Amino acid sequence: MQRTTLSVLIPPLAVCRYGCAGCCAAPIGVFWLAGIVSIVYGYFGGPASLETVSWPTVFLGIGLWAIATVWARMAIRGVKDDECQRKRSTVCRMVSPGEDQSDPMDDIKKFSN
C-alpha cells in the first residue's frame, strides 16, 4: 500500500526507495516536476496569459504526472518481480563481456610499448 501511495504522490522517491534508482528515477522526476509546473502554470493562466485557469495546460500537467506514476509503478513492479524469481534485476544488471571480447586497456598497452 505504501508503494502505491508513494508512487502516486512522489514517483521519483518511490523508485529510489523501492526500485532501481540509477535506472529511471531522473527521467521520472523530470516528468513529475514538469507536471507540477504545468499544473501551477495553468492555474495562473497558462501560455496564453488568460484571466482564468488554462485547462489544457492543467490537463497536460495531470497527464505528465500520470505518465510519471505509471512509469514508477512499472519500474517498481519489474524490480519486485525479479526479486521473487531470485535472479538479478534485468533493469539494473551489468553486462559482462563475452569470452571473445578483449579488454580495451590491453590493446592500449600493446600500442604504447
Tens digit of each residue's pLDDT (9 = 90 or more) over 28-84: 999 999 999 999 999 999 998 899 999 999 999 999 999 999 999 988 887 765 554
Check residue 4 and give its pLDDT: 84
**pLDDT at position 112 over 90:** no
Check residue 91 and give its pLDDT: 47
- In SS3 terms, the chain reads as CHHHHHHHHCHHHHHHHHCCHHHHHHHHHHHHHHHHHHHHHHHCCHHHCCCCCCHHHHHHHHHHHHHHHHHHHHHHHHHHHHHHCCCCCCCCCCCCCCCCCCCHHHHHHHHHC
Higher pLDDT, 24 or 56: 56
- Of 62, 5, 3, 55, nearest in space to 36 by CA: 62
Handedness of CA 26, 28, 34, 39 (dihedral sign): negative
Check residue 105 and give its pLDDT: 77
Confidence of residue 21 (pLDDT cuts 50, 70, 90): low
Check residue 95 and give its pLDDT: 54
What is the C-alpha to C-alpha distance for residues 86 and 92, in angstroms, rounded to an integer? 14
